[in-house]
Structure 1
């Protein structure tokens, strides 16, 4: 572990605090004008050492305090052997208790660190980091969870290079935090398979819907059922049955599916999700952030069945150097202490200032601005995904241009 300057100072203070306490007690004992005994306060030193350091420091300091307790100090007159012996026994008792408590604390801390490492690995496997480039597209993603200590919440995103183009999903599960991770896992797992297997985007969306329905059905069946008082053994409670069915019926996921093709064409299916922003550098060195829309979105997945026909919508062609920023509604709905909404559009324009637009810089700039705006107190999960098209377009050859080139004399 690498300690900063402030961390080293704090650690040194923790080690020095028990010694400072002992020194203070001895000084008060020596300088007490009324002969008031302060030596009993030495019993607190081992407890201070155990709270801030390990076993060795606790034992060494406890022994030193016991020795000090046996030596008559100050102007208190005749020494009190019984009182000093009692103080010595109290110090030794605190040393033993601190020794055992510190050992248990260290074991619990090691176990907690292992559990945190396992949880972080599992969450990163679920919402895995994106590669910096995917088939000529520069990509960067970021996530902020409203649950303290969680890396993943109710938002999801993924970008994959497939035979049908670069396919991207951005979604938002109803609710937030750890309770939505199961639904996130079901939707992401289905997308990672369907994005390669399905030729058309509507087929991918139908696969996501079926995966969500299976997940909700399994979750409803796995919840325990308790019978009402006086009901026969094994009979489910009607109220709890209705509440469970209503909870599953209210579960939904907003989804934005994108397909970036080699010619810069962007195909999209939107199920109740916010539309993305398009970033483009201006001639004066600045940047513009504009919401790109393409018709009325479909209802969120799970709220209503998908229609039989789902026409794929088209966004404006993504030119080389242009960028798209996908986000969940937590970014636009974030408020500060005064109740003002987060100005996502203006922050995106600031983040994209300069040429070229760097997706990782855009994501980090928005993330820091969100934390400043909310003071770190998030009420909803937030996900961001920025991508820039770096693929070079080949010139389109027409038959007339080819004939003119054939008939042109060689120099």
Structure 2
């Protein structure tokens, strides 16, 4: 890995002088001509004009070469950042244990694919577990907390039989990240190992919604100060998620983490999860984005596939804000595509009969 990086860096160092080679050669020729050619030393307006043209051409070539090299380097860095961010916040598979899933992200930071929002959905032996969250702040500065929470969730969702255990794992992972960041940012780090602060990075926290969709469609959740989802089935209804727990990183979690029975997702119904950037988005006049109204319009048209619904909301958000989002937006849609099992009639031989009355003397 280190060897590959060194080769790539060496290759980039070799490529960088390419656009400047020809202008530099012109410059060397111009200086040699000016200093070594007797004709160039002669006075006169014509010779001054010729010298000015030569050096102007060389200067223009150098500027264009530097600009071209910087443009190539910027495109290369953007491609690397884009690939890295897509690996970090990967799209969930289109189907998970009979559920259709789609997600998308809009970053408020120009040129960024991933900001301070996070989402993930995984199929586990305990059901399909879904997380969506929002790190305080947005853009690349929030990526460290996103990495800590998502990395912990992808392991804990499979290992922990109880949803409360998953949430505690996420809280511990975020706490470690905040402590490590506080140590790195402490002024004493330059000289010696500082004493660990009692309350590291007190203003950092993550609002989060953790859901578990069981095989029978029952949905249980734990809400850490995050907006609740919507259930869509021709109608759009807010789903209750219980009394909110404190956001991760702000205060300790309570001892009792009993999941709240949110709803039952029947076949054909969808859950729409979002971060608060969707509801808080405003247009130029300060009007909020009508999230529920857009969802209701989509539900009335026809049954919409999860990916199409995410695309439709992204388009409506960008149109409403004219592409100037003030906060990151993450959307995730889960639709129950499991087949309906009709009630089976009882077999004749198994039909219940009323027992004969007994007589006691």
Question: Which category describes the TM-score, using the shorter chain as reference length?
Answer: 0.7 to 0.9
The count of residues paired between Structure 1 and Structure 2 equals 312
CA displacement 1:240-269 (0-9 Å, x = unmatched): x99x86661222111101111111111111
| In 2, Cα distance between equivalents of 1:215 and 1:307 | 21
What is the SS of the residue equivalent to 1:159?
strand
Find out whether 1:253 has 2:206 as its counterpart.
Answer: yes
Q: How big is the shift at 1:316?
A: 2.0
Change in CA separation of 1:224 and 1:204 when aligned onto 2, cut-off 3 Å: same
Q: Deviations over 1:132-187 (max 9, x none)?
A: 22222111111111111111111100011111111100001111111111001100
* CA distance in structure 1 between the partners assigned to 2:301 and 2:323 by the alignment: 28
1:353, distance to aligned residue in structure 2 (A): 3.5
With normalisation by structure 1, the TM-score equals 0.70
Deviation at 1:329, TM superposition (A): 0.7
Q: Does 1:116 align with 2:78?
A: yes
**2:331 alignment partner in structure 1:** 384
Of 159, 169, 181, which aligns to 1:197? 159
In structure 2, do the counterparts of structure 1 residues 246 and 371 end up closer, same or farther at CA, with 3 Å as the change threshold?
Answer: farther
2:187 aligned counterpart, secondary structure: coil
Cα distance change on mapping 1:217 and 1:340 into 2, 3 Å: same
Q: Does 1:394 align with 2:341?
A: yes
- Note closer, same or farther for the CA distance 1:380–1:247 as it changes in structure 2 (3 Å cut): farther
Deviation at 1:84, TM superposition (A): 4.6
Matched, 1:266 2:219: yes
- Give the match's secondary structure for 1:116: helix
Deviation at 1:340, TM superposition (A): 1.1
Question: Which of 333, 336, 342 is 2:283 aligned to?
Answer: 336
Aligned partners of 1:97, 1:192: CA distance in 2, in Å? 55
The match for 2:138 among 149, 170, 176 is: 176
Consecutive unaligned residues of structure 1, counting only runs of 5 or more, are: 1-54, 60-80, 228-232, 282-287
What is the aligned partner in structure 1 of residue 253 from structure 2? Answer: 306
Whole-angstrom distance in 1 between the partners of 2:47 and 2:341:
93
- 1:404 maps to what in 2? 348
Q: Distance in 2 between matches of 1:157 and 1:390?
A: 21
Tell me if the contact between 2:152 and 2:173 (Cα under 8 Å) persists in the aligned partners.
yes
Asked whether the 8 Å contact 2:222–2:241 carries over to 1, the reply is no
Larger Cα-atom Rg: 1
Structure 1 partner of 2:15:
none
Question: Structure 2: where are the runs of 5+ without partners?
Answer: 1-21, 27-42, 353-361
Residue 280 of structure 1 corresponds to 233
Query: For 1:173 and 1:396, how far apart are their aligned partners in 2?
Result: 46
Q: RCO (CA 8 Å, sep 6+): is it higher in 1 or 2?
A: 2
Please give the alpha-carbon distance, in whole angstroms, between the structure 2 residues aligned to 1:294 and 1:333: 20
Give me the whole-angstrom Cα distance separating, in 2, the residues matched to 1:222 and 1:405: 74
1:278-328 CA-to-partner distances (Å, cap 9, x unmatched) read 1112xxxxxx22111143121211222111111211122111111111001
Q: Aligned pair in 2 of structure 1 residues 396, 311: CA closer, same or farther (>3 Å)?
A: farther
User: Distance in 2 between the 1:366 and 1:226 partners?
Assistant: 47
Match of residue 293 from structure 2: 346
* Structure 2 residue matching 1:302: 3-state secondary structure: coil
Rounded Cα–Cα distance in structure 2 between residues aligned with 1:87 and 1:352: 73
The DSSP-based 3-state class of the residue aligned with 2:201 is helix
Paired position in structure 1 for 2:169: 207
Distance in 2, matches of 1:360 and 1:197, equals 29
User: Counterparts of 1:253 and 1:188 in 2: how far apart (Å)?
Assistant: 12
Shift of 1:204: 0.4
The answer to whether the 8 Å contact 2:242/2:262 transfers is: no
Superposed, which structure 2 residues align to 1:7-406 within 5 Å?
82-225=44-187, 248-281=201-234, 288-395=235-342, 401-404=345-348
